[in-house]
């Protein structure tokens, strides 16, 4: 029998304990042995939990118990979670997590410890929640040179934008609804300012190209400044506004990554992804474009955590060769050529005079030819544009 411990009994930790309990027979049949939760670490008491006898408050019990093969970190943040993760790996235990902040910021160092100790550090649930995404990227698409990744990687912002598109809600009202439904935290900064999606696109880029793309070096723009007027104009012209994480491999081996709102044509699959759902398009030189879709957060994420627990046990003897090395050679995302949406008190003729051919999609709103962000900002300034968004 394989035994594991869970650190944290919030939405994810409790969901994982439930999956392990309810699906124990199916898991045992697929793995070839039973899997059992031995400990649940939390500073709180849960006397009514069906796992009440498993709760402990001292991490050292987990750290020093040779029966515990896998530790699942559901604490969040980078302070206690980082310390306990390091100690678990140093103790020769596999570690599984959904903590995208920890993986994006300290993943390189933690993976190095895992390699040194011949154990696994797995984090399928850190990007896309319940969506099988990372394992297909580093395993199923291993025969590809990955060229581009673009995804709706944050369910909170996608819910807010869906409400703005479908019901004409303002950003402020849609955010309040998201908070009331539990989709957004009391402090929604990480979601609405693109930070959460930024961490996730970094993890995807790290795995795609094997070199570290640090969140501190990635441009992240969220949706807090999105005007309902632009959402309506986009919809009338056959576009939807979506917050995308975008990473590309450029000529010469450089990598570019950023997060920003985009106008996405309704002809593209990403445009049809609404509510709290996530989706990610990965383009490889052999597979072309593949799409992954599903629930990106919440209790269903426990499915991905359990998958990693099983994977870690299956790779007891020969660990997953997973990780990234030195820093990637990053290109400035502000130099990437792309089309831009501009709106303001100007005509299409005014815009054409400033930047050449444009597509008029509404009075006082145009889409430009491809140009860099630097050039687009210069055009927007000349036109005194009130809004400026990327077009995928």
Q: Which residues are catalytic?
A: 200
Which structure tokens are listed for 306?
Answer: 């359990």
**Nearest-5° Cα angle at 32, 27 to 37:** 50
Q: In whole angstroms, what is the distance from residue 280 CA to residue 151 CA? A: 4
Please report where in the chains the tokens 């709290």 appear, as a residue: 276
Instruction: Count Cβ atoms below 10 Å from residue 177 Cβ, excluding itself.
Output: 15
**Do β-strands 255-265 and 385-391 pair in parallel, antiparallel, or remain unpaired?**
parallel
Helices (H), the chain: 11-22, 24-31, 59-63, 80-90, 100-117, 134-135, 155-167, 171-180, 189-192, 195-209, 228-236, 301-314, 348-355, 373-383
Which structure tokens are listed for 135?
Answer: 């394992």
Residue 249 — left, alpha, or beta (φ > 0 → left; ψ -120 to 50 → alpha)? beta
Contacts of 224 (CB under 8 A, 6+ apart): 171, 192, 193
Cα dihedral sign, 77-136-155-130? negative
SS3 category, 367: strand
Q: Which of 46, 42, 34, 32 has its CA nearest to residue 5?
A: 42
Q: In whole angstroms, what is the distance from residue 43 CA to residue 280 CA? A: 36
Q: In whole angstroms, what is the distance from residue 210 CA to residue 208 CA? A: 6
Q: Which of 283, 288, 245, 255 has its CA nearest to residue 147?
A: 283
Q: In whole angstroms, what is the distance from residue 65 CA to residue 358 CA? A: 66
């Amino acid at each position: 029998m394989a035994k594991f411990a869970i650190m944290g009994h919030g939405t994810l930790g409790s969901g994982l304990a439930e999956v392990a309990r309810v699906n124990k027979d199916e898991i045992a049949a697929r793995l070839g042995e039973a899997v059992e939760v031995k400990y649940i670490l939390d500073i709180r008491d849960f006397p009514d939990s069906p796992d009440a006898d498993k709760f402990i408050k001292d991490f050292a019990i987990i750290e020093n118990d040779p029966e515990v093969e896998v530790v699942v970190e559901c604490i969040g943040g980078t302070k206690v979670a980082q310390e306990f993760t390091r100690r678990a790996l140093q103790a020769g235990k596999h570690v599984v997590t959904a903590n995208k902040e920890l993986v994006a910021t300290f993943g390189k160092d933690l993976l190095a410890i895992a390699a040194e100790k011949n154990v696994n550090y797995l984090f399928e649930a850190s990007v896309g929640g319940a969506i099988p995404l990372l394992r297909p990227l580093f395993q199923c698409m291993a025969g590809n040179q990955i060229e581009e990744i673009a995804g709706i990687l944050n369910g909170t912002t996608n819910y807010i934008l869906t409400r703005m598109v479908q019901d004409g809600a303002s950003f402020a009202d849609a955010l309040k609804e998201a908070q009331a439904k539990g989709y957004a935290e009391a402090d929604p900064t990480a979601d609405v300012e693109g930070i959460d999606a930024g961490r996730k696109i970094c993890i995807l880029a790290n795995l795609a190209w094997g070199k570290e793309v640090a969140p501190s070096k990635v441009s992240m723009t969220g949706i807090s400044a999105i005007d309902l007027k632009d959402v309506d104009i986009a919809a009338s012209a056959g576009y939807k506004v979506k917050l995308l994480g975008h990473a590309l491999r450029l000529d010469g081996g450089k990598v570019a990554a950023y997060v920003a709102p985009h106008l996405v044509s309704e002809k593209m699959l990403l445009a049809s992804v609404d509510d709290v759902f996530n989706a990610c398009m990965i383009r490889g030189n052999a597979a072309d474009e593949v799409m992954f879709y599903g629930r990106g957060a919440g209790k269903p994420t426990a499915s991905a955590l359990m998958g990693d627990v099983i994977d870690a046990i299956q790779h007891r003897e020969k660990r997953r060769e997973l990780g990234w090395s030195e820093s990637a050679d990053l290109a400035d995302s502000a130099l990437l050529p792309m089309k831009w949406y501009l709106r303001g008190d100007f005509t299409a003729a005014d815009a054409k005079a400033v930047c050449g051919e444009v597509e008029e999609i509404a009075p006082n709103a145009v889409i430009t030819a491809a140009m860099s962000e630097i050039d687009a900002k210069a055009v927007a300034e000349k036109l005194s544009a009130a809004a400026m968004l990327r077009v995928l």
